[in-house]
């Protein structure tokens, strides 16, 4: 049996080792290849050097906050999907994260099953959009012939 996240590269960013390890185990159980980072600078570096398909990003991080990391990670055409996971319930923070392009904003403690399901749904949605775009490009190319 294959997992819902087979062949998906996931970067998990959190400075709490217990949270990091539990998320890592949950994503690996679904077939994801995981990378781990404990601060915002490390997350940005990994996204530049070995871009993941999906990033699970804590807001409160050392060296560079989740918001500052999000600014660097999102905004390009091939940006990864980003799920921000935070204990901060403020609506202003959520709105700011959305303005920076976050794909989902979840409050801690988030059940691991829910986190993985949200990730799988976002990946499936992106795959469907990519397939539709490829089909449209092929249709246009055929019409030009």
Helix (H) or strand (E) holding 81: strand 81-86
The 10s digit of each residue's pLDDT in 50-78 is 999 999 999 999 989 999 999 999 977 78
Q: How many domains does the chain have?
A: 1
CB 94 within 8 A of CB 124: no
The 10s digit of each residue's pLDDT in 8-48 is 999 999 999 999 999 999 999 999 999 999 999 999 999 99
Q: Is residue 2 part of a domain?
A: no
pTM over the 0.95 mark:
no
The 10s digit of each residue's pLDDT in 121-136 is 999 998 888 888 888 8
Q: Is residue 3 part of a domain?
A: no
Domain housing 17 = 9-144
Q: Is residue 1 part of a domain?
A: no
Query: What CATH number corresponds to the domain at position 74?
Result: 3.40.50.2300
Picking from 17, 25, 77, 69, the residue whose alpha carbon sits closest to that of residue 47 is 69
Tell me 116's DSSP state.
Answer: H
Q: Is residue 24 part of a domain?
A: yes
CB 108 within 8 A of CB 86: yes
Q: Is residue 4 part of a domain?
A: no
């Amino acid at each position: 049996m294959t997992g819902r996240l087979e062949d998906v590269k996931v970067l998990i960013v959190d400075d709490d080792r217990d949270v990091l390890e539990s998320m890592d185990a949950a994503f690996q159980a679904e077939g994801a290849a995981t990378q781990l980072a404990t601060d915002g600078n490390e997350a940005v570096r990994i996204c530049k050097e070995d871009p993941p398909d999906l990033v699970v990003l804590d807001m409160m991080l050392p060296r560079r906050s989740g918001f500052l990391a999000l600014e660097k990670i999102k905004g390009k055409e091939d940006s990864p999907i980003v799920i921000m996971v935070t204990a901060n319930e403020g609506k202003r923070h959520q709105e700011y994260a959305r303005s920076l392009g976050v794909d989902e904003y979840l409050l801690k403690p988030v059940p691991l099953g829910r986190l993985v399901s949200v990730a799988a749904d976002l990946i499936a949605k992106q795959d469907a959009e990519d397939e539709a775009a490829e089909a449209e490009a092929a249709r246009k190319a055929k019409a030009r012939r």
